[in-house]
Amino acid sequence: MVLPRISISESKNLKKLKALGRYSIKRRGWNMPEPKANSKFFRKINRFSFGFIEGKIDFHEKANSTYNDNEILQTLFFLSIKNRYPENGCKRCKEIMEKSPDANTLYRRINMKDKEEILREFFFIQKEIITRLRKRRIKRIIAFIDEHEIPWYGKDNPYVNGTKNFDGTKLCFKYITINALIDGYKICLFALPVTPLSRKDKLVDELLKVAKKWFRIGIVLFDRGFSKDSKILKVVEKHGLKYLAPIEKSQRIKRIANFGDGVNPFYHMH
């Protein structure tokens, strides 16, 4: 699912939101130019995403709640856009928005939701987005599977993995996503948590099953590292899909590539 933007076209906070400055946009690992708040890119993502989500996520607003569901949702959007944790992000958001909850309130409202409710809302919103996209008669999509890490500075727990990618901690949460590349925009179709006991081939299998329900897949792209697990590649072959996965550097592979017998050793039907 595309990361949603705060609806600014009709917002009373338009001037304040413009004060946020420029947003860092990353696409497929490249540092893209940071568009201004009124850029074509920003407006397109804003119109596309917020309309699908507003009013469709229940944060269990009560009659005496200080913050309504939309105010909770806008705060989450801000944290997502700015890539901030609630502890410091909520303070900054409160300086910009007229009404925005503090971190404790945000956590409390989110903790009122259970896993089944979150998944149900996710798929409901995804179905609307996919239905709109399929009207464009997209023949085949380029799908790519990524693994992501979020640093964790708290105590160890069953969902935490080891990592060497961050300063100040050796722990992280991992999740794996399958994304569709449509008109140069990355749309997340599904995501799954990765635990120390997870089998990546099983996770990839589940991701592909979900994606194939919605689109015909032309090719699957993997990040470096997935090609080390032959079980993952066999799963992709089981689905009858073509794939492209860079392999780890090694002298042996380099010798094969430079053998020069007139045959491309990397040609593969998949």
C-alpha separations of 37 from 14, 18, 19, 31, 203 in Å: 10, 6, 9, 17, 37
- Domain for residue 127, yes or no? no
Number of domains in the chain: 2
- Domain for residue 131, yes or no? no
How much is the average pLDDT of 150-172? 90
CATH number at residue 194: 3.30.420.40
Q: What is the mean pLDDT of the chain?
A: 77
Q: How far apart are CA 155 and CA 258, in angstroms?
A: 49
Q: Which stretch, 54-58, 90-94, 261-265, has highest mean pLDDT?
A: 90-94
Q: How far apart are CA 252 and CA 125, in angstroms?
A: 47
Instruction: Tokens for 238, please give them.
Output: 């089981």
* 188, 107: one domain: no
* 104, 200: one domain: no
* 201, 243: one domain: yes
How much is the average pLDDT of 166-192? 89
CB atoms within 10 A of CB 132: 12
Q: pTM for this structure?
A: 0.68
* 111, 156: one domain: no
Q: How far apart are CA 46 and CA 141, in angstroms?
A: 22
* 24, 107: one domain: yes
Burial label for 257, CB within 10 Å (0-12, 13-18, 19+), is exposed
What's the pLDDT tens digit per position in 92-144?
Answer: 888 888 789 999 999 999 999 998 999 899 888 888 888 887 787 788 899 99
* 244, 147: one domain: yes
Q: How many percent of the chain have pLDDT more than 90?
A: 34
* 144, 108: one domain: no
- Domain for residue 268, yes or no? no
Q: How far apart are CA 14 and CA 38, in angstroms?
A: 10
CB atoms within 10 A of CB 185: 14
* 26, 87: one domain: yes
Q: Which domain holds residue 75?
A: 14-115
- Domain for residue 38, yes or no? yes
